[in-house]
Structure 1
């Protein structure tokens, strides 16, 4: 069961890396992509990513709970889950309000919440790397 949870963890990690650290910044460099268009696409993509992350987090938690791996997989998994919860409950709402304003045509200053979200993504990536490694090696 630990190996399956490790595989799901790696899937989760790959999704976060691919979307948060590749797709999100690169879409604004594509010809013809305006800030409102990029934000609109980003909202849809991140809504889907976050829903998938919740499902994957539940699957990983179940896999960890049903496996013989306990320590330090529990704290690594807990960090990833708590970071995701903070992103969804605390950081995303102000980001959504800001993007609503930008999409409505307002001139809105940059948001510190975006920097917080990126830092939390980096923490989540580190937790997922640790968790995946622990689960796949039986450590």
Structure 2
């Protein structure tokens, strides 16, 4: 395995682990905590997801640079590009909608539930699958 393949694999699986831990474990469990208000939960969620998204951008940029220097197999590149494109859609299209809604909730307005949460979760599932496939493909290529 080349150093570049090792970097791509490590960052891809770290990215995968962070998404799984935050989006599918921390986020839903947070709202089950006794005494936690919706406003406090949203405030915490905004901070956590801002940090996650920042790290995701760094990981995606580093993986992209590594791919440019030493491309893994095409299937791995496609899967990793799907993960990166998914992140871009989340940040540019879905997150602004979620932010507007959470701003309204934090301001005390009564707003209906947002379907954007479902879109964000669907994109998270797609990203998880893409990262898993990409990481496995790079890893399998590196050990063959």
TM-score, with normalisation over the residues of structure 1? Answer: 0.96
CA contact (8 A) 2:73 2:137 kept: no
Q: Is residue 84 from structure 1 mapped to residue 87 from structure 2 by the alignment?
A: yes
Q: Is residue 119 from structure 1 mapped to residue 110 from structure 2 by the alignment?
A: no
Given the alignment, which residue of 92, 97, 105 partners 1:102? Answer: 105
Residue matched to 1:129: 132
In 2, Cα distance between equivalents of 1:11 and 1:48: 14
Unaligned 5+ segments in structure 1 are none
CA contact (8 A) 2:73 2:141 kept: no
Write out per-residue CA displacement over residues 53-105 of structure 1, whole angstroms, 9 at most, x where no aligned residue: 00000111122222241311121011001000000000000100000000011
State the 1:131 CA deviation.
0.6
Pairing 1:1-139 to 2, within 5 Å after superposition:
1-138=4-141
Give the number of equivalent residue pairs: 139
Unaligned 5+ segments in structure 2 are none
In 2, Cα distance between equivalents of 1:50 and 1:116: 16
Write out per-residue CA displacement over residues 82-134 of structure 1, whole angstroms, 9 at most, x where no aligned residue: 00000000000010000000001111110001100000000000000001101
State the 1:15 CA deviation.
0.5
Which secondary structure state, in structure 2, belongs to the residue aligned with residue 111 of structure 1?
coil
TM-score, with normalisation over the residues of structure 2? Answer: 0.93
| RMSD of aligned residue pairs (Cα, Å) | 1.1
